[in-house]
A and B are shown apart, each in its own frame.
Chain A
Amino acid sequence: MSDQQQLSSEAWEKGQSIALSCPEFKPDVEEEWLAEESVSCYNCRYRRFVGSGIRCMKSLFNS
Chain B
Amino acid sequence: MKFYLCIDDTDNLDSIGTGTIAEQIQEKIIHQGYGPCSLVTRHQLFIHEDIPYTSHNSSMCFFCEAPKDALTAIINLAANHLDTVAAVGSDPGLCVLAYDESCHYDELMEFGINAKKKILTKDDAMVCVQDNQLHLSEHGGTGQGIIGALAGVGLRLFGYDGEIKGALKSVMLNQTYSVADLKKLPEVNQVINLTTKEPLADTTPINMYNRSKTVLYQNEYVLFVKKDENHQYATLPKAEIRKLGDHFYV
Residues of A within 8 A of B (CB): 9-10, 26, 28-36, 42, 45-51, 57, 61
Q: Please count the residue pairs between chain A and chain B whose beta carbons lie under 8 angstroms apart in the complex.
A: 51
Decide: B55 and A29 in contact? CB cutoff 8 A: no
The CA-CA distance from A50 to B46 in the complex, in Å, is 10
Cα A28 to Cα B19 in complex, Å, equals: 12
A32–B56 CB distance below 8 A: yes
Contact B210 A29 (CB under 8 A): no
Binding site for A on B (CB under 8 A): 13, 16-17, 19-20, 42, 47-49, 53-58, 163, 165-166, 210-211, 237-239, 242
A33 touches which one: B13, B16, B166, B211 (CB < 8 A)? Answer: B211
**A10 to B47 alpha-carbon distance, docked (Å):** 16
In the complex, the chain A residue whose C-beta lies closest to that of B60 is: A31
A34 touches B242 (CB 8 A): yes
Task: With both chains docked as a complex, state the minimum distance between the C-beta of B213 and any C-beta of chain A, in angstroms.
Answer: 9
- Alpha-carbon gap, A45 to B85, bound state (A): 19
A5 to B130, CA, bound (A): 43
Q: Determine if B13 and A29 form an interchain contact, defined as CB atoms under 8 angstroms apart.
A: no
Across the interface, do B238 and A47 meet the contact criterion of CB distance under 8 Å?
A: no
**Residues of chain A within 8 A of B237, CB atoms compared:** 36
By a CB distance below 8 angstroms, the chain A residues around B166 are 30-31
**Of A10, A26, A29, A31, the contact of B239 (CB 8 Å cutoff):** A10
> Across the interface, do B49 and A31 meet the contact criterion of CB distance under 8 Å?
no
Interface centre among A34, A51, A61 (most CB of B within 10 A): A34
Contacts of A31 in B (CB 8 A): 17, 19, 42, 163, 165-166
Taking the nearest CB of chain A, how far is it from the CB of B187, in angstroms? 12
